[in-house]
Structure 1
Amino acid sequence: MHTRISIDPDYLVAQLKALFSIPSPTGYTDEIVRFIVRELERLELEVIVTRRGAIRARRPGRSRRPARGIVSHLDTLGAQVKLLKDNGRLEIVPIGHWSARFAEGARVSIFSGKGIYRGTILPLKASGHVYNDEVDTQPTGWPHVELRVDALARDKKDLVQLGIDVGDIIAVDPQPEFLDNGYIVSRHLDDKAGVAVMLAALEAMHRLDVETPVDTYWLFTIGEEVGVGASAALVPEIASLVAIDNGTTAPGQNSSEFGVTLAMADQTGPFDYHLSKKLFELCSEHGIPVQKDVFRYYRSDAASAVEAGHDVRTGLIAFGIDASHGYERIHLNALVSLAKLAIHYVASEVQIERDAEETAPGIKGFTHQRAVTAEQSLTREDGK
């Protein structure tokens, strides 16, 4: 394998910009699925699309089993029309879990039966000239915001005439900024940045003709933000699944906006011991900056796969995000680092050959979790 993997940052950024240009709140992902499939086919992968739009792209290796999976999600946070209000505004509810604090002031698109309308999410008391200090003292939350449609909408009847209805999906503008110092600020970096990482890794593997010991499946899901994610995207050949998603850069966390953040656990429990160990060792072996973290209020495609009954080893590698599910910020260094790690992982030799089958008689070839005592470790280091 190539000991030095070169990721094309210009390609990665270009793909991320293209992804931002395609609205994809959960439930409205058809167009971004089409975009990804075209790019995967250009990179000469075998592409399967499920009934609802999850993508499974296979890149052949020397053996079919135990295959490896890499997964990210195409869907983002968004909102949905809950009620047409008598004042011509829209009551809305969130798609996914995000705070109404970050909704206030957002520019949006409403996908109605008669076309796309633009609008703004506003607090119920939006004008200081009208409400004075009440603008600052009103509560925060989804019951305390409404959507103003940029069309003639004086009352509920006007909204009906526009073709807007309960259930219409709303996409929130990402408003991305790509700074010269490598920082990227935008909504929906979760997980369009992860998708761009996967495309950049595949582009490098295609360009460098990287061979892998086993088949690799590159999965793109469409319902992660609402908890279903990779529940219906896997095939039995996949023995290990690595999710690429955001980390949490905040006080009390160990994530970083630079290098790889290796998640050791989330709210569903620890990630696979052996897979996490391998990913950490690959970072050390190839000079990729890495730090470990544990996420308390977090789940990913990996969790949905296991909860759906797939007996796969799971891991999570992340790009540190500041203000996740809000106005997010990351650094290009983390995205390049993740793409490198993904390639080194899929190109590495299989260590647990028993994983080729979902079940096997007895424990022959089964893994160990043995560890030496601290005293034994010191003795070995002293050469005694």
Structure 2
Amino acid sequence: MPRLVIDTHYLTEQLKALLEIPSPTGYTDTVVRHVAKELERLGLKIELTRRGAITALRQGSRRASARAIVSHVDTLGAQVKYLKSNGRLELVPVGHWSARFAEGARAQIFSDSGIYRGTILPLKASGHTYNDEIDTAPIGWNNVELRVDALSRDLDELEKLGIHIGDMVAIDPQPEFLENGYIVSRHLDNKAGVAVMLAALHAMEREGVSTPVDIHWLFTIAEEVGVGASSILTPDIASMIAIDNGTSAPGQNSSEFGVTIAMADQTGPFDYHLTKKLIRLCEEEEIKHQRDIFRYYRSDSASAIEAGHDVRTGLITFGVDASHGYERIHVHALRSLAELVTAYVTSPVEIERDRNLHAGLKGFTRQPNDEARQELAEDSNPAE
């Protein structure tokens, strides 16, 4: 079945709603409820793990060789590391991101006594006081602090607010949706991937399409700290496509337009046959695409493999400029990804052997080389 038409208005509205919900890793309950309710509105039955990862099953013609699509709802953030004598907060990052991009950020502190607003500032923030020292100050989490927008001039006043070590801190996304299709915001990684999945599902439900196998729509809650899809897969899932951001930067081939198909990340190559199928689908459906390799990057797919799941994995991405910083994407990439997802989940199963957890050599896949070409020739011209 060819790719489906994607409702980009629905896609961007979902992304806007997701960005409004703070969800640093460890503080994802609210965004989980939001996504789960939208999945139920689309007609899917959902289940949550104990901590809140979401599985939504859309039944296909059979259960065996099921496919999964996965994104993560958690984002970067911070925690209170220490209450300082000057009434400000020392922070530690949640997820891997530079304090360079924390400086100047507006934030929320989730304390037992309520939510406070604040700003992350360098230790030397005033040019009128420190003159040129503000330009030579080092970069790092030990060199920033969170100024709370409440009476907190010293440690006693700070403690009276009810703020404690370990309190979660969410960074404001500050989204902008421009008329030319560009979207600028923090946390596009991976709220945009979640919106892509919802948009693909929205198109499938609208058209009433069927799939050859069950499709598991997975939403994880701790990808930014490396947990990802490590504990959400079931044995009947034979292949899994992760949707996440690709880095459009010098030395990379990712783009803010079309689909960027990852050939490998820091954990190694993605599944050869699944990746080649995604490329072929892009070619057949005339979906703009490019390939890339990410040296300092991992996704939900890596966590699933490292947890011991014998599943074919692939990664398709939307190109992000300044990933884990002040991110920018284009709606063209999001639409292209959703189109590819619809083409993939409705495509025929090609590796029938994958319905079994273990099997013999018969039906095992082939990768091109001289020996394989010779065997194929012999198979097509058997001896008398």
Instruction: Say whether the fold is shared (TM-score over 0.5).
Output: yes
Q: Which residue of 1 aligns with 2:293?
A: 294
Mapping for residues 294-373 of structure 1, pairs under 5 Å: 294-360=293-359, 362-371=360-369
Once the two structures are TM-superposed, the CA of residue 370 in structure 1 deviates from its matched residue by: 2.2
Q: 2:188 aligned with 1:189, yes or no?
A: yes
Distance of 1:209 and 1:284 partners within structure 2: 25
Distance of 2:253 and 2:176 partners within structure 1: 25
Once the two structures are TM-superposed, the CA of residue 40 in structure 1 deviates from its matched residue by: 0.4
Q: Deviations over 1:164-205 (max 9, x none)?
A: 000000000000000000000000000000000000000000
Gaps of 5+ in 2: 375-384
Residue identity matched to 2:57: R
C-alpha contact (below 8 Å) 2:86/2:154 kept by paired residues: yes
Distance of 1:4 and 1:52 partners within structure 2: 34
Residue identity matched to 2:12: V
Secondary structure, counterpart of 2:286 in structure 1:
coil
Secondary structure, counterpart of 1:101 in structure 2:
helix
Q: Deviations over 1:94-141 (max 9, x none)?
A: 000000010000000000010000000000000000000000001011
Q: 2:44 aligned with 1:45, yes or no?
A: yes
Once the two structures are TM-superposed, the CA of residue 152 in structure 1 deviates from its matched residue by: 0.2
C-alpha contact (below 8 Å) 2:3/2:342 kept by paired residues: no
Q: Which residue of 2 aligns with 1:9?
A: 8
Q: Deviations over 1:13-51 (max 9, x none)?
A: 000000011000000000000000100011111211000
Once the two structures are TM-superposed, the CA of residue 65 in structure 1 deviates from its matched residue by: 1.0
Residue identity matched to 1:342: V
Q: Which residue of 2 aligns with 1:255?
A: 254
Q: 2:58 aligned with 1:59, yes or no?
A: yes
Secondary structure, counterpart of 1:232 in structure 2:
coil
Q: 2:205 aligned with 1:206, yes or no?
A: yes
Secondary structure, counterpart of 1:214 in structure 2:
coil
Once the two structures are TM-superposed, the CA of residue 371 in structure 1 deviates from its matched residue by: 3.9
Once the two structures are TM-superposed, the CA of residue 232 in structure 1 deviates from its matched residue by: 1.0
Q: Which residue of 2 aligns with 1:124?
A: 123
Distance of 1:18 and 1:196 partners within structure 2: 9
Mapping for residues 44-193 of structure 1, pairs under 5 Å: 44-193=43-192
Residue identity matched to 2:211: T
Distance of 1:210 and 1:108 partners within structure 2: 42
Residue identity matched to 1:37: A
Residue identity matched to 1:367: T
Residue identity matched to 1:369: Q
Distance of 2:293 and 2:217 partners within structure 1: 25
Secondary structure, counterpart of 2:63 in structure 1:
strand
Mapping for residues 241-280 of structure 1, pairs under 5 Å: 241-280=240-279
Residue identity matched to 1:185: V
* 4+ residue segments displaced more than 4 Å: none
Q: Deviations over 1:46-79 (max 9, x none)?
A: 2110000000100000010100000000000000
Q: Deviations over 1:247-305 (max 9, x none)?
A: 01000000000000000000000000000000000000001001000000000000000
RMSD, matched Cα: 1.2
Residue identity matched to 1:193: A
Q: Which residue of 1 aligns with 2:378?
A: none
Query: With structure 1 as the length reference, what TM-score do the two structures score?
Result: 0.96
Residue identity matched to 2:362: K
Mapping for residues 224-243 of structure 1, pairs under 5 Å: 224-243=223-242
C-alpha contact (below 8 Å) 2:103/2:121 kept by paired residues: yes
Q: Deviations over 1:322-363 (max 9, x none)?
A: 000000000000000000000100000000011011111x21
C-alpha contact (below 8 Å) 2:189/2:244 kept by paired residues: yes
Distance of 1:65 and 1:247 partners within structure 2: 31
Residue identity matched to 1:298: Y
Once the two structures are TM-superposed, the CA of residue 206 in structure 1 deviates from its matched residue by: 0.2
Distance of 2:294 and 2:333 partners within structure 1: 18
Residue identity matched to 1:291: Q
Residue identity matched to 1:229: G
Once the two structures are TM-superposed, the CA of residue 372 in structure 1 deviates from its matched residue by: 6.1
Q: How many residues align?
A: 373
Q: Which residue of 1 aligns with 2:24?
A: 25
Gaps of 5+ in 1: 377-384
